[in-house]
């Protein structure tokens, strides 16, 4: 009788390393699947593969999902300007859908009986993985040793080291998840609400003290809401980008450049879909730069009503995606709205990165509302050729009338308004 086959969503970290060894000792035939959603430290594919083979996997599969992640998730994260609770760009959570879909694909292609992931039951990632697997392949068994056995990182470390497998001291202290959108760091100080992560916990962003004193100035180009270029002020593409490079390469390059200038660090605290309050460190310079620049360009080309409606619907869309509502048709409706809203979001934004700050210096667009008004002789605070002083006085009089009437009603006055 052949062994039962299981596919493990494998990152090479502590949790998934424990899972591979545990499954093998239980008699499973283990296949590992590393889904590349843009880990910031590139070139680690071979080391992850070597780790899987060392732990006893019979086969290791690498799936490059960066382009699909960008097209299906990141594009709309920027179009919606989504920041969870106003500050967190859903670094890794939004990537889980793509990762889980690819793991299911590997499982089906290899005739597996089950799939496994290394999520705990205390966070939200286990829900994200399960939501995809249940929707796409309900016949597959879901095996989650970290969730089911409720193991601590210290127990997993002891299990592996007792069998001769080395474990990084940093992975014992912190759970680190890297992706194209950003990196999350959980553990130690993030279990409480007072302490900040030490310098040693951050993976690639520089501290403000260590960031260059001079800063750097960029010009970001957008077409219909999507970034298409990132250059220095003299027109040279920033390192890692250039003609023909995919959009995700621009984001990756902005992550590196922003991190060098101390941009993108933060600690997010908020309620999770499972009801508990969570706190996690994150590094996401590229996404924060893109969203800030994109929002600035929207202020130039979209009406106030468009911006207000987008802010509301964009937040709802992002929250649903963050909370693993992946396949409800309402998300298609949101995306259709977001695509429509970006028809005129084309132009350039000038940005300065300096000592942890993203400074928006200016924007320009062929659809500029500011330029259109100026062509009609309307300049805010200066003058207008479209109306007279008497018309301006009349407008101010009529505009103030509802407030004046409300004040009179509140006082009980009978005197008519002049």
One-letter-per-residue 3-state SS of 3-33: CCEEEEECCCCHHHHHHHHHHHHCCCEEEEE
Here the CATH number for the domain that contains residue 241 is: 3.90.1260.10
**Domain identity same for 198 and 256:** yes
**Domain identity same for 39 and 149:** yes
Environment class of residue 384 by beta-carbon count within 10 Å: exposed (0-12), middle (13-18) or buried (19+)?
middle
Name beta bridge partners: 33. Answer: 9, 61
> Are 140 and 117 in contact, with CB atoms under 8 Å apart?
no
- Say how far apart CA 1 and CA 219 lie, in whole Å: 62
> Are 21 and 9 in contact, with CB atoms under 8 Å apart?
no
Provide the residue-wise pLDDT of the chain in tens; the chain has 418 residues. Answer: 568 999 999 988 899 999 999 999 999 999 999 999 987 455 678 889 999 999 999 999 999 999 999 999 999 999 999 999 999 999 888 899 999 999 999 999 999 999 999 888 878 899 999 999 999 999 999 999 999 998 888 999 999 999 999 998 777 788 888 899 999 999 999 999 999 999 999 999 999 999 999 999 999 999 999 999 999 999 999 999 988 888 999 999 999 999 999 999 999 999 888 788 899 999 999 999 999 999 999 999 999 999 999 999 999 999 999 999 999 999 999 999 999 999 999 999 999 999 999 999 999 999 999 999 888 887 877 777 888 889 889 999 999 999 999 998 888 766 665 6
Structure-token pair, residue 166:
């080395």
Answer whether residue 107 is part of any domain. yes
pTM: 0.92
**Domain identity same for 277 and 394:** no
CA 378, chain centre distance (Å): 39
Structure-token pair, residue 128:
């994200």
**Domain identity same for 293 and 318:** yes
Domain count, the chain: 3
Name the domain boundary from 168, 202, 224.
Answer: 168
Answer whether residue 208 is part of any domain. yes
- Say how far apart CA 238 and CA 228 lie, in whole Å: 12
> Residue 393 belongs to what domain range?
387-411
Exposure b/e, 105-121, CB count within 10 A at least 16 = b: bbbeeeebbbbbbbbbe
């Amino acid at each position: 009788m052949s062994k039962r086959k299981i596919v493990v969503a494998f990152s090479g970290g502590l949790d998934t390393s424990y899972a591979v060894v545990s499954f093998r000792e239980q008699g499973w035939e283990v296949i590992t699947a590393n889904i590349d959603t843009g880990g910031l430290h590139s070139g680690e594919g071979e080391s992850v593969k070597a780790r899987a083979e060392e732990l006893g996997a019979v086969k290791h599969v690498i799936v490059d999902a960066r382009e699909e992640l960008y097209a299906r998730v990141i594009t709309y994260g920027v179009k919606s300007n989504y920041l969870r609770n106003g500050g967190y760009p859903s670094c890794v959570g939004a990537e889980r859908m793509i990762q889980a879909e690819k793991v299911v694909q590997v499982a089906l292609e290899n005739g597996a009986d089950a799939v496994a992931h290394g999520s705990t039951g205390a966070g939200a990632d286990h829900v994200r993985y399960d939501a995809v697997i249940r929707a796409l392949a309900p016949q597959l068994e879901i095996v989650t040793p970290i969730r089911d056995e409720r193991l601590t990182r210290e127990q997993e470390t002891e299990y592996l080291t007792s069998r001769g497998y080395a474990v990084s001291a940093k992975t014992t202290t912190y759970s680190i998840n890297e992706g194209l959108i950003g990196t999350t760091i959980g553990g130690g100080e993030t279990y409480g609400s007072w302490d900040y992560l030490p310098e040693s916990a951050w993976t690639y962003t520089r501290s403000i003290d260590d960031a260059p004193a001079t800063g750097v100035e960029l010009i970001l180009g957008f077409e219909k809401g999507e970034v298409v270029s990132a250059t220095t002020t003299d027109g040279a593409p920033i390192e890692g980008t250039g003609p023909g490079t995919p959009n995700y390469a621009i984001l990756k390059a902005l992550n590196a450049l922003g991190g060098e200038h101390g941009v993108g660090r933060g600690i997010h605290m908020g309620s999770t879909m499972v009801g508990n309050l969570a706190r996690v460190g994150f590094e996401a310079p590229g996404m924060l730069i893109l969203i800030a620049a994109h929002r600035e360009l929207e202020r130039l080309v979209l009406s106030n009503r468009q911006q207000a409606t987008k802010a509301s619907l964009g937040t709802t869309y992002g929250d649903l995606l963050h909370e693993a509502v992946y396949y409800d048709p309402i998300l298609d409706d949101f995306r259709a709205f977001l695509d429509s809203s970006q028809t005129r979001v084309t132009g350039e934004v000038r940005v300065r990165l300096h000592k942890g700050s993203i400074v928006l210096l200016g924007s320009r667009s062929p659809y500029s509302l500011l330029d259109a008004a100026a062509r009609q002789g309307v300049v805010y605070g200066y003058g207008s050729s479209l109306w007279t002083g008497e018309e301006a006085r009349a407008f101010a009089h009529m505009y103030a009338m509802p407030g004046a009437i409300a004040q009179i009603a509140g006082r009980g006055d009978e005197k008519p308004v002049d």
